[in-house]
Structure 1
Amino acid sequence: MSEENHTIPPAPAPQPAANPPINWEREVLEKLVFATLKEQRANRRWSIFFKVFLLVVIFLAVANYFNFSIVSGEGEVGRHTALIEIDGNIDSEGSGSAGVVIPALNKAFSDGGSAAVVLHINSPGGSPVQAGMIVDEIRRLRKGYPDKPLYVVVDEICASGGYYIAAAADRIYVNKASVVGSIGVLMEGFGFTGTMEKLGVERRLLTAGADKGFMDPFSPETEAHKRHAQAMLNEIHQQFIEVVRSGRGKRLKETPETFSGLFWTGARAVDMGLADDFGTVDTVARDVVKAEDVIDYTQHEGLPERVLKKFGASVGAGAIKAAADAAKPALR
């Protein structure tokens, strides 16, 4: 055998080891820089958003103020019918509160261009105090502006506290299917004494004054407290009746059911003298007032007020208000 046949092949050359990443510090630094820039851009976008939102709120507030000022300006819109909306419960908040209705009434009556004032009511009732304050102001304004009539136009419903206000008007216009009346007063609540006994719960109430726990839902109702509450309701009911009799006068056709708390359709209300005729805001403005231009004097709550109420001190007040309202007399 030749010498070439016994030659051992050379071993393969070793592969070079993988090189570590070059400039890895720079790559990490670049990622950090890009992440920082991205966060700054996001913060800048949110900052711009909130600044724009704030400007929009300010703009709407200013626009709402000047719009109401122009609408209620004396003589600026010519002869017209002044409109005030009462929509919802008659209470210390909303369009049915005295704090909202009374300023609107004053602006509407004092405007030299308003030929008449129309109260457009859609309310199931509410607080006798708020309704009474509005009625007192209506009477004062009617004396101060004897040549400027006040009409009420009923929408879906004008009951209890809503009708308390309507009765002070010169005339009341309804739809045939409107709900009108409910001349009565109620005070409602709950009694939990039986439930507490079954659960083994003991009520511990300390008072200074023998009757300070009056209407407490966790204490037994006494006959004396029941008589006192009924006397209060009867007194407020009589005030309601006097407002209706004074406002409607001889037009009212009293029956034993008139002041019972029942309510009727608009058509039946006209027959009973609780209302005068059928009509809408437009028909009253056109055919009765003879001033077709209708200008709204209602103090509408703007966006800034709604935002402040939503995120301000009123958050969470609903439950507290509901508990406090339980023992209040109500015209509904």
Structure 2
Amino acid sequence: MISSLRRFLPKPFRNDKPVIPVVRLHGAIGGGGPLKSGLSLATASIPLEKAFSMKKAPAVALVVNSPGGSPVQSRLIFKRIRDLAKENEKDVLVFVEDVAASGGYMIALAGDEIFVDPSSIVGSIGVVAAGFGFTEMIKKIGVDRRVYTAGEKKVTLDPFQPEVPEDIEYIKSLQLEIHETFIDMVKSRRGDVLADDPDLFTGKFWTGRTGVQLGLVDAIGDLREVIKDRYGDKAEPKLISAPRGLFGRKAGLGVGLAKGRLLDGVGEELISSVEERAMWMRYGL
């Protein structure tokens, strides 16, 4: 009721300053475990929907800081952003912090404009799969591993068995398909400004300054500077976060409380943390 009467107040007493909702999309994509949530459609949906539902906001700002991860979750987040932008007729401004590489850059493509710091890292338009082989180790410690399958390819790239060239070629063919999807997304969103550079789709990455020259991003600028320049000095960014659930964890994710599950979670958490740290280190972070 108070809100509906505000328009009748004298102008000096109105609160007409533009508010720009801000959603932070941070971390490895698809990573996480029972004790730690990674960046995924499940964790991003609630704040995104809340931000785009703010009717008076002329735009939604997204702060992206991710070294990549799951191509599926990256594309799902990208698509949700574009769908919400279309449904609510909002501009989308993306601001890259330390890095928007690989899947992080795929999410950044959802922006109508992408802003970076001169030292941000952007790009890495490629696909990677990594693992370890333990065939010599189990021989040395005297382990006899037994695996029974229905389907001859159920143990493709088993780390406890020697690599099979046919399996490697198959995995590479899958990577090429995923890579083509990524390239198509980049061309669809940035094709009119992309530089003609043979390294663009090789998985190479660049600083934000070079990214502007290559057309991967639009300009150098920070969130507050751009918002005030676009929407006036009184414009204010408003951070939109997912609601917190049990133990302060973001809502929408279950936490295993049984003793066995909790102990398993500690192991998963350790592995997940090591993997995520390696992803950040690849970009010198």
Q: Percent identity?
A: 37
- SS of the residue corresponding to residue 192 of structure 2 reads helix
Equivalent residue in structure 2 for 1:260, among 199, 202, 205: 202
Alignment partner of 1:82 out of 21, 24, 38: 21
Structure 1 CA distance for aligned equivalents of residues 49 and 176 of structure 2 = 32
For normalisation by structure 1, the TM-score amounts to 0.68
Counterpart position of 2:219: 277
Other-structure match for 1:246: 188
Structure 2 counterpart of 1:206, one-letter code:
Y
Q: Does 1:123 align with 2:71?
A: no
Q: Which runs of 5+ in 1 are unaligned?
A: 1-75
Change (3 A) 1:221 1:289: farther
Match of 1:316 in 2: 264
- Measured in 2, the distance between the counterparts of 1:284 and 1:95 equals 28
Deviation sequence 1:256-308 (CA, Å, 0-9, x none)? 21111111111000000001001111012111244621111121646733499
- 1:104 is the counterpart of 2:52: no
The runs of at least 4 aligned residues of structure 1 exceeding 6 Å deviation read none
Which residue does 1:61 correspond to in 2? none
Which amino acid in structure 1 is aligned with residue 27 of structure 2?
A: G
**Is the 1:168–1:243 Cα contact (8 Å) retained in structure 2?**
no
Q: Deviation string for 1:82-124 (max 9, x for gaps)?
A: 1000121112653622112122222111211212111101111
Q: Which has the higher helix share?
A: 1
Return the alpha-carbon distance in structure 2 between the equivalents of residues 186 and 95 of structure 1.
19
Aligned-partner residue type, residue 76 of structure 2:
M
1:296-315 map, 5 Å: 296-299=239-242, 301=244, 304-306=247-249, 309=255, 313-315=261-263
Aligned match of 2:130 in 180, 188, 191? 188
Structure index of larger Rg: 1
* Paired position in structure 1 for 2:98: 156
**Match 1:219 to one of 161, 179, 184:** 161
The one-letter code matched in structure 2 to 1:136 is: K
Counterparts of 1:181 and 1:97 in 2: how far apart (Å)?
A: 20
Question: In 2, distance between residues paired with 1:162 and 1:183?
Answer: 10
Q: Which amino acid aligns with 2:20?
A: T
What value does the CA root-mean-square deviation take over the aligned residues?
2.8
1:177 corresponds to which letter in structure 2?
A: S
Partner of 1:91 in structure 2? 30
Q: Verify the 8 A CA contact 1:135 1:168 in the aligned structure 2.
A: yes
